[in-house]
Structure 1
Amino acid sequence: MGPDEAVIGCTGELVLGTRGDAGPGEVLVRVRGGTETFLAWSDAPLPRGATVLVTESRGSRQVDVIKWADPLEALTDPGVGGAH
């Protein structure tokens, strides 16, 4: 199975933390109007529950991920830069 281009750029939540070079975790990704699970690889270990961004598809339901923080959340968080 070739790379899955539809998943690149999607965000998800780790249901099993990654271990960096020691092995993959598992990510639940919002894609194609639903959610799907993939093996998730990252350069550094990431904990279960972390929000991640899919940066690459390895095919065979495997993806590369990085830790993700939505930059727009800071605009809606009343404790960040809001009125005093």
Structure 2
Amino acid sequence: MAQDEAVIGCTGELLIGTRGSAGPGEILVRVRGGSETFLAWSQEPLPRGATVLVIESRGFREVDVIAWGDPLDTLGGLSAGVD
């Protein structure tokens, strides 16, 4: 099955948590000017509501994900008082 390369590198929110090797969850991803859902697989279980990064497409509507934290969030206190 052909990969969906447009979704690789996108972030999204887990609507249904993943169960690691025991089974997929479901992710909502903003892609192609809208939002789409995919089955989401991860190496370790991830909870519902987690922000994840799509690292691979398995083909039709299935992706591999990892936990994702926005690196700019850590800069929040650094920009205060900068003109």
Return the TM-score normalized by structure 2: 0.90
Task: Provide the aligned C-alpha RMSD in A.
Answer: 1.3
Runs of at least 5 residues in structure 1 that lack an aligned partner in the other structure = none
Which whole-Å deviations, capped at 9, do the CAs of 1:1-52 have from their partners, x for residues lacking one? 4110000000000000000000000000011111100000000000000000
Runs of at least 5 residues in structure 2 that lack an aligned partner in the other structure = none
In the alignment, what sits opposite 1:2?
2
Whose strand fraction is larger, Structure 1's or Structure 2's?
Answer: 1
CA distance in 2, matches of 1:3, 1:46: 23
| Secondary structure, counterpart of 1:45 in structure 2 | coil
Q: Is 2:35 the counterpart of 1:35? A: yes
| Secondary structure, counterpart of 1:72 in structure 2 | helix
Return the TM-score normalized by structure 1: 0.89
Q: Percent of pairs identical after alignment?
A: 75
